[in-house]
Every structure is written in C-alpha cells, then in structure tokens.
Structure 1
Amino acid sequence: MNKFYRTLLISTGAALLAAGCASGPQYKDVASAIPTLPPDHGRIYFFRPGNFGGSAIQPEIKLNDKVVGRSIPGGFFFVDEEPGEYTVSTSTEVKRDIKFTLHAGDTKYVRTTVSMGLFVGHITPTLDDPDTGPQEIDQLKYVGAPLSTAAK
C-alpha cells in the first residue's frame, strides 16, 4: 500500500507541475510566423522563465490597465503598440508595476518573476536587457494569440 500511495503522490505532483507550465509551440516553431514590426509601432515581449516555483500563480498582465495576457511559467507573448508611455502591472496580494517609454521601432522585453508573499506569491514585472531578452524567449513556448502559419 505504501508504494501505491507514493507512486500516486509522485504522479499527481508531476501532473500538477505540468499543468502549471506553458503549453504551446516553442519560439523556434513560431518565429517565422511572427509579423514584421510596423515602422510606426514598438513591440513588447512578455515572458516568464519556466521554473517550478509558483507555477500555479498565473495572474493577468496589464498594459496601461488593459489585460494583454497572463504570466505563465515557461511562456511568452508579444503586443505591438504605438509609441508612448506605458505601465505594465501584475497583481496578486499586491500590485507591482513598471513604467517605460516605447518609441517607434523599439523592442522591449518584460520579464515576470515570482517572489514570496504572505498568502500568495507576488509576480513582479521588470524590464530585461535587450541583449538577453531574445535568448530567454528562444527557450520558451508561445502563449499569445494564434499566429498565421504563413511566414511574414
């Protein structure tokens, strides 16, 4: 009986961890379908590295108070926006945000990370380095709106 419960516990734990991580195509599988950035817009990539800590915590990500996606471990998505001032926010027990200016032709990388909270972990957005952001996304799965399969 003891072995049965141990196997059941391990199987259930593995299933819960898998359910908390991103599912979808890897970056390399969708890269050719990501549209070219319009010259009068900037692009913002949102991503969360795929670690096991806080995988069940997947709050909404808001851009200027509009929901644009969720912070999903191991996932990324992007939005194209007009130049301007932007605030990215996430909220569990507390609201965390960052502010930045987006210019035409810019690409920004917003990383979300989990930190300890009193009852629930906190998801904190930060601007990632433009040199390391693409390398991080290259390892993740696309969790955004469906992309055309035709290369653009």
Structure 2
Amino acid sequence: MFDRFVKPLACASVAVFLTACAASGPKFATVENTLPAVADNAGRVFFYREYSSFGAGMRPDIFACGSKVGESIPGGMFYADLPAGDCEITIPSVMYPGERKIKVTIGTPKVIYFKTWMGASSFGGRTNIEEVSAGEAIEAMQDLALTNEKKN
C-alpha cells in the first residue's frame, strides 16, 4: 500500500524538478519578427539548446569575445549582437577542467547559429557546441523560450 503512494509522488517530484530546469520566456516563434535589426558594424549570434532531461539542471555560461553573453538552458535560446571581426566562443566545463572553444568571424555572414547540448562522459555532462545552418536553427528554435534577460 505504501508503494502505491510513494512511486507516483516520486515521479511527480522528478517531473516538477525537470520542468523547473527548463527555460522560461516568450517563444521564439512569437518574437522572431520583432527582433531589432543588426547594426551595420556588427553580427548576430544565436545560441539554442533543445530540451532534454539529461543534464537538465546544468546551465553553463557561454562567453563570446571575452564577455558572458548568456547561458545554455534546456529549452531556451538567446542571441547576442557582437562587433564585426574575429571572436572566440567559449563554454567552460562545469564538472571538470576544460572548455569548448570555437573561433568565428562575426558579421560574415551577418547572422550565425549555434546549437548546444549536454554530452555524456564518464564523469558527467560536458556542453557541446556546433554551428548549424539557419534553416535547421530557425526550425529548432520555434518552440524554445527567448532567455536574453538571463545574461548575468
């Protein structure tokens, strides 16, 4: 009889925890056409992370051109407008030493897109990042929450 109540309660608790780890904010599909234009001497970089329960509690910082621009949040996306030129995008590892780095040229093309996700290792998750096409990114971001206000 005791198991009849404990198992559903445990499942509900896990569901609430995982939901709390997901991003909140307006969906990209609702704000996509209201985003400001990119300045002539800049480029826009989008970062997104589709929701997965693996690593849902981890929200690693993302740095671009030496400054924090946002966090990799499950179910979230954000963008940063950066000065044109060479830039290094860095995601420090949370669980152990090391970081992911990608060098890009901002402004060529004007808008670039990066997908982030938690990768498995024997010691825990590591945030992976890869550049993706505009079509792939825009399709994936439609139901993701815009998290630009969570930079600090």
Q: Provide TM-score, normalisation by structure 1.
A: 0.88
Q: Which range is displaced more, 33-42 or 52-61?
A: 33-42
Q: Provide TM-score, normalisation by structure 2.
A: 0.88
- Name the aligned partner's letter for residue 100 of structure 1: V
1-structure distance, mates of 2:22, 2:149: 17
Partner of 1:149: none
2:110 corresponds to 1:106: yes
Compute the displacement of 1:7 (Å). 1.4
The alignment partner of 2:149 has SS state of: coil
Alignment of 1:42-53 (within 5 A): 42-53=43-54
Aligned residues: 146
Q: Is the 8 A contact 1:39 1:104 kept in 2?
A: no
Compute the displacement of 1:139 (Å). 2.4
The alignment partner of 2:41 has SS state of: coil
Alignment of 1:8-23 (within 5 A): 8-23=9-24
Compute the displacement of 1:68 (Å). 0.8
Compute the displacement of 1:25 (Å). 1.1
2-structure distance, mates of 1:26, 1:105: 25
RMSD between aligned alpha carbons?
Answer: 1.6
Larger relative helix fraction: 2
